[in-house]
Amino acid sequence: VAVRNRRVTSADIAQATGVSRATVSYVINGVTTQSISEATRARILAAAADLGYTPYGPAKTLATGKSSLVLLVLPDWPIGYGINLLLDELEKQLATNGLSLVMHRLARPGERVADAWKAIGPFAVIGLGGIDDVEAQAMTRAGVELVTMTLSGTGAPAAIGRPQIEIGRLQARHLARTGHSVLGYAFPDDDRVVAYSEPRLEGVRLACADLGLAEPVVLTVPQDAEKAAMAVRQWKSRGVTGICAYNDQFALAVLAGLYELGMRAPDDLAVVGCDNDPAGRLAAPPLTTIDINLEQTARRLAALVIGAYKGQPAPQNDGPLASRLVVRRSAP
């Protein structure tokens, strides 16, 4: 068994079996519009297995002009556990339609997706954020379908949205309903997520105004127990009794700050997070949070891509994605 340098091509297997490359292609791809005698089919399959043949994606993509890859672009902020739900569902949906999901993470803030999608030449790109108009146009021009998540709930044709403002509203309303009248907001110390943190905070503000409560006391909370403790102290000194946090990570920081000071939720400060992170379920006390239903999100995203793949017409707009309050002991 000599070491082979050259890639095994369909021509090799054509030669080995004494048929043409066209026939090989038909068999390998199980083309139904072309009848092939059982004998040659078997011979070809055997030779393929024997030689260890592997179709070469780029050549196939070039020839057909259509890739079976879908590129999911992940933003440059940290990936949390929630992403797993999204990926599982997306992968499953796409796979059953013959599409493969690959991901690319924007590592440096402001990095262009360009290098990745150009090299891949995917059928579609799913953007979770971090794709600007210039790039969006370039993709469309290059014939790549673009499906994005928008923040508002409206946007480009193939876009689905989750109104971030609703998240803040849900948080604030829950606290108001359970007797809190002076709220605080735990703002993230991470510039990369302002596109999310601002509208969420705005939702809290609006809810407070609606319900006749005071303006929320906004404090930036680092991922650090001692610094979070300082924030807690400030909130307490200003009469705050309930905190809406940007997400569960920062809610956990508030919990840690309380713990530092020998206090505890919900007695000293009620706190509600967002994302329904598994770590929140195991926190002390378990965290009240907002579930953003990533599976539904994935299904919608997949539907848009698959629709385009099958050449289906205009994507029906199913309206904005829903978020849901999950009550646990940190804000009962």
* Min dist. Cβ of residue 263 to its own copies (A): 11
Instruction: Answer yes or no whether residue 55 interacts with its own copies by CB under 8 A.
Output: yes
Q: Please write down the HEC assignment for all residues of 152-192.
A: CCCCCCCEEECCHHHHHHHHHHHHHHCCCCCEEEEEECCHH
Q: Does 311 bind its own copies (CB under 8 A)?
A: no
| Phi, psi for residue 81 in degrees, rounded to 5 | -65, -30
Torsion angles phi and psi, residue 211, rounded to 5? -90, 5
Task: Mark residues 139-158: x for contact with its own copies by CB under 8 A, - for none.
Answer: --xxx---------------
Among the listed ranges 22-30, 67-75, 201-209, 309-317, the one in contact with its own copies (CB under 8 A) is 67-75
Residue 107 interacts with, from DNA, its own copies, none (CB under 5-8 Å by kind): its own copies
Q: Among 103, 128, 206, 326, which residue interacts with its own copies (rule: CB under 8 A)?
A: 103
Nearest CB to DNA, comparing residues 54 and 152: 54
Radius of gyration of the chain (CA): 26
Tell me how far apart the terminal alpha carbons of the chain are, to the nearest angstrom: 69
Contact 215, 208 (CB under 8 A): yes
Tokens of 128: 């979770």
Q: Which residues contact 212 (CB under 8 A, 6 or more apart)?
A: none
| 49 is a contact residue toward its own copies (CB under 8 A) | no
Q: Which secondary structure element, helix H or strand E, spans residue 12, and what is its range?
A: helix 10-17
**b (16+ CB within 10 A) / e for 144-156:** bbbbbbbbebeee
Determine contact, residues 69/102, Cβ cutoff 8 Å.
yes
Q: Which residues contact 91 (CB under 8 A, 6 or more apart)?
A: 101
9 sits near its own copies (criterion: CB under 8 A):
no
Closest contact distance (angstroms) between CB of 304 and DNA is 23
Which of 14, 27, 47, 121 forms a contact with its own copies (CB under 8 A)?
121
Of 273, 297, 298, 275, give the one whose Cα is nearest residue 287.
273
Kindly list the residues in this chain that would bind DNA in the complex (CB under 7 A). 6-7, 9-11, 18-26, 28-29, 31, 34-37, 39-41, 53-56, 59-60, 62-65
CB of 58 vs its own copies, minimal distance in Å: 4
**Which of DNA, its own copies, none lies near 118, with the C-beta cut-off 5 to 8 A by kind?**
its own copies
Q: Nearest 5 degrees, angle CA 67-CA 73-CA 75? A: 175
Q: Which is nearer to DNA, 56 or 81 (by Cβ)? A: 56
Stretch of residues binding its own copies (CB under 8 A), selected from 21-29, 154-162, 191-199, 250-258: 250-258
- Grouping H, G, I as helix, E, B as strand and the rest as coil, residue 310 is coil
Q: Which two tokens stand for residue 227?
A: 């610094």
CB of 153 to its own copies, least distance (A): 27
211 binds its own copies (CB under 8 A): no
Q: Counting contacts by CB under 8 A, is residue 332 touching its own copies? A: no
244: phi then psi, degrees, rounded to nearest 5: -100, 130
| Smallest distance from DNA to CB 70, Å | 19
Binding site for its own copies (CB under 8 A): 4, 7-8, 52, 54-62, 67-69, 71, 78-81, 83-84, 87-88, 91-92, 95, 100-105, 107-108, 115-116, 118-121, 137-138, 141-143, 223-225, 249, 252-253, 255-256, 259, 277-279, 281-286
